[in-house]
Amino acid sequence: MNITETFPIFIQLGFLLAFATLVSLLMRALKQPLIIGYIITGLLVGPFVFNLIQSEGVFQLFSQIGVSFLLFSVGLNLNPNVLKQFGKVALITGVGQVVFTSAVGFLICVLLGFSYITSFYVSIALAFSSTIIILKLISDKGDLEDLYAKISIGFLLVQDVIAIALLLAIPILFANTGSWADLGDVVFKILMAGVFVFAVARSILPKINDYISRPQELLFLFANAWGIGITALFLYMGFSIEAGALVAGIALSTLPFRHDINARLTPLRDFFIVLFFILLGSEMAFGSIGDIILPAAILSLLVLVGNPLIMMIIMGLLGYKRKTGLLTGLTVAQISEFSLILVALGVSLGQIDREVLSMVTLVGLVTIFGSSYLILYSDKIYSVIGKYLKIFERKHVLEKGIRNKDYDYFLFGGNRVGFDFIELFKGMKKDFLVIDHDPEIIGQMKMEKVDHEYGDASDIDFLESLKLDEASLIVSTIPDLETNLLIAEAAKRHASGPIFLTVTHSISNALALYEAGVDYVILPHFLGGKYASEIAKRFLKDAKEIRQMRKEHVKNLLARSALGHEHPVLERFR
């Protein structure tokens, strides 16, 4: 039955959203990313089951709008200034993982009998990990402040930049095959279009910022007009929708109202991107399921097992501990929505067959499903296989440290919170030892001639070697509950053990730490409010004190800024 003869497009859309909601509820119960639910919805409403999508042209338009909003949002959040916050490790891991995964994936695809151009698209698609999924899962675990999470955020940003470059470059490379002159003409046109867009964004929009940002309805209308308009302009000039949407977003990425635009567009973006993934699932070609199931299984293994191994090797070579390497590696055990968009672009350009998109989508379903559990249970996985991973640890000059005496004061974690304790101990002229498992922080301690030890506080053997029970004071700025319980166990072996102060971010964890014998638990978000109220009281009594405290605070902030410290507010890059 042709459903359009009975139901108009509006009712078809209602059916799609109802199916998507029911499947998404199931995905939530299974603790899976909703993107899997959207693709499964597409399979159900597609021709292989209920065949509810008959007005394909309309839904194709919705899908294109979804991709445009998604990439416009990516561009908005890719402020070039943010790149300065990520150092060598983000660049090496981000680029290294893409290069190695692409090389191995290309070889496997060729051995499986795919053409060179198909192997190129598929191998590149396997190399990108999903920022949305990774950040959601890490956030659910409460690990956003952990070292591996920060490294993951850094290399995800690098991967986003690489993905953007490919989305811009591939249509240019395949748009004209007649001559180098044709290719040069395409490059010249896109450069001129980009220069025009950025010139308008930099010279005109800041001057009318206040005018268009009030009322909010006008800002919302402007954002839609700018994003869709620039995308349409690029499409009219012969470029891809992806290229236009990315350029439109990046052009606004340094303007003050970009956060307002992003917040306003998020619900609209999420609605249309749901339709993109539903349509993607509905177009999966399973007529030749026997031809794609084996390569999909092999490529899924590459992503689920190979990607973490590649990342662990790179992390080991950079001097990181095996636990950091494993936790970081498990975050790349899935492919990205960028991967699906990239392969879909290859299909639209006529470079690869639609069956390839179906195969990559199947790889996406398998790897996203599997990696969700790998990330959520990564600590338990390490507890089981950690002892077998020493091969991924490379002996590093930092291993030696400069622990040349017995210490009364120990500080676990030398970054943001640890900075103030280091300054305190220096002022008290106390002998203290800083312990950290981040090579960059240890290198910083070495430059400042601060006694340090490179080690993982979650390693009980390492804790035993420190003789913590003989210390006078132990401070841990590590918010992880299990790690602090191990430190407490190593330190509180007798009633006269050292004073132990630690940091956590939840009341339940604080109570558990007190139960374990910790002397004082610092909850920064509660402590900050109390401290601010005390400052306000002091200001009311003595106005002169404001200027002195302000001066000291500015000095402290400048010192922290020089060290690269930032307040732990995580921006979503997508």
Q: Would residue 550 count as lying in a domain?
A: no
Spell out the SS3 assignment of 421-452: HHHHHHHHCCCEEEEECCHHHHHHHHHCCCCE
Listed as ranges, residues in the chain with pLDDT below 50 are: 1-5, 81-82, 86, 178, 397-399, 568-574
Report helix, strand or coil for 238. Answer: coil
Biggest distance spanned by C-alpha atoms of the chain: 85
Give the pLDDT score at 124. Answer: 92
Distance CA 327, CA 292 (A): 31
State whether 301 and 341 are in the same domain. Answer: yes
State whether 126 and 198 are in the same domain. Answer: yes
Structural domain boundaries, residue 379: 62-388
Q: Would residue 90 count as lying in a domain?
A: yes
Phi, psi of 522, rounded to the nearest 5 degrees = -95, 120
Query: What is the domain-level CATH number for residue 164?
Result: 1.20.1530.20
State whether 454 and 424 are in the same domain. Answer: yes
Distance CA 352, CA 167 (A): 15
**CA 266 to chain centroid:** 17
Residue partners of 453: CB distance under 8 A and separation at least 6: 401, 403, 433, 434, 435, 466
For residue 96, what are its two tokens? 């290294």
State whether 331 and 227 are in the same domain. Answer: yes
Q: Would residue 75 count as lying in a domain?
A: yes
DSSP state, 380? H
Distance CA 257, CA 65 (A): 22
Report helix, strand or coil for 569. Answer: coil
State whether 307 and 175 are in the same domain. Answer: yes
- Please answer whether residues 361 and 281 qualify as being in contact, where contact means their C-beta atoms are separated by less than 8 angstroms: yes
Domain boundary pick from 388, 421, 444: 388
Give the pLDDT score at 192. Answer: 80
State whether 404 and 350 are in the same domain. Answer: no
State whether 205 and 255 are in the same domain. Answer: yes
Give the pLDDT score at 572. Answer: 38
State whether 317 and 205 are in the same domain. Answer: yes
Q: Is the pTM of this model over 0.85?
A: no
Q: Would residue 70 count as lying in a domain?
A: yes
Q: Would residue 342 count as lying in a domain?
A: yes
State whether 325 and 407 are in the same domain. Answer: no
Q: Would residue 482 count as lying in a domain?
A: yes
Number of domains within the chain: 2
Distance CA 448, CA 440 (A): 13
State whether 231 and 197 are in the same domain. Answer: yes
Give the pLDDT score at 126. Answer: 92
Residue partners of 401: CB distance under 8 A and separation at least 6: 442, 451, 452, 453, 454, 455
Query: What is the domain-level CATH number for residue 441?
Result: 3.40.50.720
For residue 351, what are its two tokens? 């470079």
Q: Would residue 537 count as lying in a domain?
A: no
Torsional sign, CA 92, 308, 338, 77: negative
Report helix, strand or coil for 290. Answer: helix
Q: Would residue 240 count as lying in a domain?
A: yes
State whether 318 and 426 are in the same domain. Answer: no
Give the pLDDT score at 545. Answer: 63
State whether 353 and 463 are in the same domain. Answer: no
